[in-house]
Structure 1
Amino acid sequence: MNTDRGGLAGFRLTHRTWTDELGTWSSAVAADGRPGSALSFDPRLVADPATRERLVAAVVSDRRLVQGGVTGLVPVADLVAAQGEVWLLTTEPVSPAVTDLLPQTAGVPRPDAGSAATILVEVAQTLLAVHAAGLAHGALHPGTVVIAPDGSALLAERGLADAIYGRLPAPERDVAAWASLARGLAASWAAASPGAAGLFDRAASTASTHGLAAARDVLLSGGDLLPPGFTTRDRLVETIHRWSSDDLRTGGGQPAPALSAPSAPSAPSAPDEGDIVTLLHPPKNGESHTDDVVMRFGPGVPVETTAVRLWRTGRDSQKTESPAGGLRALGAPARRRRRRTALSSVILALMVVAALLAWLLRSSPAPLEVTAMKVVAPKKAQGCDKAVKVRGVLTTNGSAGEIHYQWKRSDREETIEQTDTVTAGKTSHEVILLWSAKGEGSFRATATLRVLSPLPAGKKLQDRASFTFTC
């Protein structure tokens, strides 16, 4: 069965649909014939305009990552709105995901331990690139890890859940989710290989204590415990090919009871093309488009000063008509010339005063702004018998004022908010977090510093650093 449900911004929605936490996914075909996918968000989740703005920001950041060379993300084609609905369009299919391949399907070879290792290494590599950009996935689980036709692992829905629920990026949540994924694959695809299952469990523990880079290296160094040639993805490619054939043959690969259940939501149909508006290209801040004219407002637009207005008024007032006769012009009364001279002198004096006032106003101190920041943690492992000092170095514009900031420790849910007063003339200010630990063992500690105010308009300042406690 291949039901065409209409067109959407150049995509044709086809037969297969499935639901997740964010809404209803549909398989789709792009205008050039390539397969893709479309997500119709649950209208209740995107009704708030602020939520839509966060979604736009997340998708824009996602596309910048892809443009910057991050290859492990499902590329987003567009984010559109129509008739109260919001749709996300991707240029790669978001199925099958790992969750589709976990159940044993007749006629479809089950992925092996080598397939699991390949997926875990590639997901870790993608997450490291995302975290290096100051972002996070936010909802990593088997349903958002997509297997492409060539067997590579792609991440779907990056940043969408955080945007919808108004959460700050939390890389530590991604790390915990990756460790859970590793243990889940150890119990399923590596169940027949005790050595590989143990390798996955060690990688999961390493991720929790030393981070994803160390966990990835554990997998790469344990190749002798995995099937030969696991990095070629041959087993995954065969599984995907057979799964796709079975999916087409059965009309979507979804169990029949789930599709026919009375409570299952109906597949959304594409809205009228005339009502579709992209959300990714709104007018820039401070711009209003009227026909072909762009009017700019706000900071950065030169303001006509009082001195300039006075100069223009004086210049225009001194325009004279051509004299009717040369003898009459030469014989003008002396008092007229004196009036003009006096008027010019007054205008010149006003110009000087206005210029002086403008200079005084412009030279007054600017409000305090924090323009950059960096968090520095110890490079060596730290013991538990002393307080570890984590430093935050804030760069300012040198003005006086108060800085309101927030520390977040990875071992606590609550944050620590503080306010410091800085004096004029200093362009650097240091804030300190003291962190101590008790108990036995070792764990990876991450300190996140966020500046709450004052910030440049539209800018967000946040940085983090990690170190290891060994008790």
Structure 2
Amino acid sequence: MNTDRGGLAGFRLTHRTWTDELGTWSSAVAADGRPAGALSFDPRLIADPATRERLAGAVIADRGLAQAGVTGLVPIADLIAAQGEVWLLTAEPVNPTVADLLSETPGVPRPDAGSAAGVLVEIAQTLLAVHAAGLAHGALHPGTVVIAADGSARLVERGLADAIHGRPPAPERDVAAWSSLSRGLAASWAASSPGAAGLFERAAATASTHGLAPARDVLITGRDLLPPGFDTRDRLLETLHLWAAHDVRARDGRQASAPPPAPALPAPDEGDIVTLLHVPRSGESRTEDVVMRFGPGVPVETTAAQLWRAGRDQQQTEPPSDRLRVLGAPARRRRRRAAVSSAILALMVVAALVAWLLRSSAVPLAVTGLDVVAPKKTQGCGATVKIKGLLTTNGSAGEIRYQWKRSDRKDTIEQTDTVASGKTSHEVILQWSVKGEGSFKGTATLRLLSPLPEGKKLQDKATFNFKC
């Protein structure tokens, strides 16, 4: 649907709207003229005040992740209430999404396997940072993966569905969704490249059994199966350009054939708009329906929940004249309060990361998986073949002792590597030089010597072909 609905807290809602399970999205232009987005939540989903509280907490956590350096999320400008509606305002556009690019668009080529690999790697990297902070996305699918103008993949609606439905963060649900997306892109963007499609299937299976970090590494180590331009996103940028041009033509065509639009409703007055992310002023407190609880057994709220609860209580209990004064406060004061809450959340995220790293270092190193990859292409004269082994760990520090066995030799090659804490995968390389003429099939076997899972043996092998 195309419309022009006027302004909202400095954002001008423009031509393009679409719906999803949370409400109605609109493309928008921010006060500084940059493209942005605005989501009007379905009123039925947020009627309960507790739901709005959880929603505000999720948005504050999202902004805290950005403050802590997580760049793979579409940045949020504000969460506001206006004329009985609740709006999420983003500082960047939220289209096109992967779902948009998956649809058949005349004159717009599909992205290739290299584009799919780049998107999957960036999503995995963002989810790993989100999970390390004790959070999750909760609704990962092609419609919540936005492709930015530079071709990078960004996630939108992080934590919103979980907040609305009252679900705790579930990283395993994100991992399953990432695996599903990997298989979906294998069947579409990589359909013409069987080798790349197999790589995505392998990454999906690795995510399901060993987690996102090893799955991401499977894609990175298998880059020789991807088309040229994997690093530069050439094909994806070409698709974005053609998609945008088609979208403009389609929009202009719809506007030319449509009847004159009805006059736009006047924009909400600033006095009718309030941010839901503010910190209460000093001295403000709730004066009725007070429940005091002390002693053991009283649950401790998170900082985000305390900030939102205080703000909500302030809005509910102020006299009408005071409330109008608060709702009409200058935008500068609201931004300052939002910045304070974001800074507090950023400190919480950093503390969670440090705690996770310290916990990891206190647990003995364990290796839970082992995978060996050899080049698929036949190697030629004078080649030095690079065999890669990927060991999946629990993220603790320690030493890994392993053994390579070449099919052309009786002797084995033993090595010991030191692994730092915080990394859940470790790569080892075997360089195999082949000389002379003729045909040759080589097999490299990697065997873990220590630390071994109790009662188990970990080893894998890979084969390559040589012809000179």
Large movers: runs of 4+ above 4 Å: 267-270, 372-378, 443-446, 465-471
The gaps in structure 1 that reach 5 residues or longer are 261-266, 291-296, 300-371, 384-442, 447-464
Instruction: Map 1:191-202 to 2 at 5 A.
Output: 191-202=191-202
Kindly indicate whether residue 96 of structure 2 is the aligned counterpart of residue 96 of structure 1.
yes
Please, which of 264, 275, 280 is the counterpart of residue 278 of structure 1? 275
CA distance in 2, matches of 1:253, 1:136: 40
CA distance in 2, matches of 1:218, 1:198: 11
CA distance in 2, matches of 1:31, 1:63: 20
CA distance in 1, matches of 2:230, 2:174: 25
1:273: Cα distance to partner? 3.7
Please, which of 366, 381, 397 is the counterpart of residue 380 of structure 1? 366
Contact 1:114–1:226 at 8 Å: present in 2 too? Answer: yes
Contact 2:73–2:154 at 8 Å: present in 1 too? Answer: yes
RMSD: 3.5
Kindly indicate whether residue 288 of structure 2 is the aligned counterpart of residue 288 of structure 1.
no
* 2:115 alignment partner AA: S
Provide TM-score, normalisation by structure 2. Answer: 0.60
Q: 1:468 to 1:72 in 2, by over 3 A?
A: farther
* Equivalent position of 2:129 in the other structure: 129
1:270: Cα distance to partner? 5.4
Contact 2:366–2:393 at 8 Å: present in 1 too? Answer: no
* Equivalent position of 1:173 in the other structure: 173
Of 113-122 and 244-253, deviating more is 244-253
Kindly indicate whether residue 111 of structure 2 is the aligned counterpart of residue 111 of structure 1.
yes
Secondary structure in structure 2 of the residue aligned to 1:135? coil
Instruction: Map 1:404-419 to 2 at 5 A.
Output: none
Instruction: Map 1:366-445 to 2 at 5 A.
Output: 379-381=365-367
Contact 1:11–1:31 at 8 Å: present in 2 too? Answer: yes
* 2:19 alignment partner AA: T
CA distance in 1, matches of 2:184, 2:453: 26
Q: Among all aligned residue pairs of Structure 1 and Structure 2, give the percentage whose two residues are the same amino acid.
A: 73
Contact 1:97–1:146 at 8 Å: present in 2 too? Answer: yes
Equivalent pairs counted in the alignment come to: 305
Kindly indicate whether residue 10 of structure 2 is the aligned counterpart of residue 13 of structure 1.
no
Structure with more contact order per residue of length (Cα contacts < 8 Å, sep ≥ 6):
2
Contact 1:40–1:268 at 8 Å: present in 2 too? Answer: no
The gaps in structure 2 that reach 5 residues or longer are 287-291, 295-354, 370-391, 396-423, 426-451, 458-468
Q: 1:61 to 1:24 in 2, by over 3 A?
A: same
Q: 1:237 to 1:42 in 2, by over 3 A?
A: same
Secondary structure in structure 2 of the residue aligned to 1:46? coil
Of 94-103 and 104-113, deviating more is 104-113
Secondary structure in structure 2 of the residue aligned to 1:24? strand
Contact 2:79–2:276 at 8 Å: present in 1 too? Answer: yes
Secondary structure in structure 2 of the residue aligned to 1:251? helix
Secondary structure in structure 2 of the residue aligned to 1:288? coil
CA distance in 1, matches of 2:253, 2:175: 30
Secondary structure in structure 1 of the residue aligned to 2:108? coil
Larger radius of gyration between Structure 1 and Structure 2: 1
CA distance in 2, matches of 1:80, 1:468: 52
Secondary structure in structure 2 of the residue aligned to 1:71? coil
* 1:16 alignment partner AA: R
Q: 1:183 to 1:2 in 2, by over 3 A?
A: closer
Q: 1:219 to 1:24 in 2, by over 3 A?
A: same
Q: 1:269 to 1:202 in 2, by over 3 A?
A: farther
* 1:192 alignment partner AA: S
* Equivalent position of 1:246 in the other structure: 246
Secondary structure in structure 2 of the residue aligned to 1:174? helix
* 2:145 alignment partner AA: V
